[in-house]
Each structure stands twice: as structure tokens, then as C-alpha cells.
């Protein structure tokens, strides 16, 4: 009986390890893609879904100037701030490097926008002793799932908004409401 319980615990631990990013404890990219597929299916049945991509501004400079240990601390803190702001029904993942992805459910667009803006503002107000008391900022792209968009188009649109935020000054959230359609 004890070895069966040990096996169950080991399997649960291995399952968690395979689905999460070890540094941030958020879901990893592979898990995110699975959740995104499922979420998009639900959205096609009427569930409200918003996708956000968040990217730490000037992260390479942080790593190059202060070292990877400080960079890792920044990643962990950003992940914690994201976790602290989202609801239990939302899904947060480290999508890659310094980029995070959020699936936001059961909120209006304005509520989803307020959520990501709260994350952005909260982070921008922190002063980091490890960074000579400087701040860290993020840029965000946000878009809602809507009829006529497939999951690839939704992701691409959000990615374009994120890069528009980066190119237009960083530390901001870009949506269809803030720029219209970006070609």
C-alpha cells in the first residue's frame, strides 16, 4: 500500500514538473498551448476569452549588466505579480525567455484590460535594490477572442500589439481599442 501511495505522489510530482516552468512556477509553453487550444474551443461555444502577451522591457540589458541571477529574480518576481493579480480561472504561463502569456476568462474586455494594466503598473512602481534602485517595466498586447478569428490569427494579433507596444516606447498595453487595426 505504501509503495502504491509513493508511486501516486511521484506521478503527481512528475506531472507538475512536466507542465510548469521551474523558475517561475507558471505553466510552461507546451502546457499553455494545450490550454490555449481548449480555451479557444470553449470560446467558440460562447465562453469569453482574452489573450495577453507580456514581455519584460530591456531584459537582455538586465542580464548583461547585473547577471543572470538578478535576471532570474526579476523573472520570478514578475511571475509572482502576475499570479497575485489573476483569478483562479485564468491561466498564466512563461511562454519563453522573458515573455509571459495569459488566458483571461469570464471578464469583459475592460476588466481584462484593467487586470493587465494593474500588473503593468504594480511592476513599474517597484524599485529593485539589485538594479541600483531602478524599475522594471513590461509591454503588453491584449485582444479578445471574437468571431472570424482562428486561434493562430488571435495569437498573431496579440503578438503584433505586443511588438507595437515595444516599438512605440515600451511600458504600455496595446489593444485594438488603442491603435485600431495594425497591418
Which residues are part of the catalytic machinery?
98
CB atoms within 10 A of CB 94: 25
CA 138 vs CA 72, 106, 119, 124, 125: distances in Å:
15, 24, 9, 8, 12
Q: List all residues 6 or more positions away from 68 whose beta carbon is below 8 Å from its beta carbon.
A: none
Counting runs of H as helices and runs of E as strands, what totals does the chain give?
7, 5
What does each C-alpha distance from 17 to 11, 24, 27, 72 come to in angstroms?
Answer: 10, 12, 9, 18
Amino acid at each position: 500500500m505504501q509503495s502504491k501511495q509513493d508511486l501516486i505522489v511521484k506521478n503527481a510530482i512528475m506531472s507538475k514538473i512536466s507542465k510548469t516552468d521551474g523558475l517561475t512556477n507558471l505553466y510552461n509553453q507546451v502546457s499553455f498551448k494545450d490550454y490555449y487550444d481548449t480555451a479557444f474551443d470553449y470560446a467558440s461555444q460562447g465562453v469569453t476569452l482574452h489573450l495577453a502577451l507580456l514581455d519584460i522591457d530591456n531584459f537582455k540589458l538586465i542580464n548583461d549588466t547585473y547577471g543572470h541571477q538578478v535576471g532570474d529574480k526579476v523573472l520570478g518576481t514578475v511571475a509572482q505579480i502576475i499570479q497575485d493579480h489573476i483569478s483562479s480561472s485564468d491561466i498564466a504561463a512563461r511562454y519563453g525567455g522573458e515573455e509571459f502569456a495569459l488566458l483571461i476568462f469570464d471578464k469583459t474586455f475592460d476588466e481584462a484590460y484593467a487586470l493587465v494594466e494593474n500588473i503593468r503598473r504594480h511592476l513599474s512602481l517597484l524599485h529593485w535594490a539589485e538594479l541600483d534602485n531602478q524599475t522594471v517595466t513590461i509591454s503588453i498586447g491584449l485582444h479578445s477572442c471574437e468571431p472570424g478569428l482562428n486561434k493562430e490569427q488571435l495569437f498573431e494579433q496579440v503578438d503584433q500589439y505586443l511588438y507595437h507596444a515595444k516599438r512605440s516606447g515600451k511600458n504600455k498595453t496595446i489593444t485594438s481599442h488603442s491603435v485600431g487595426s495594425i497591418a
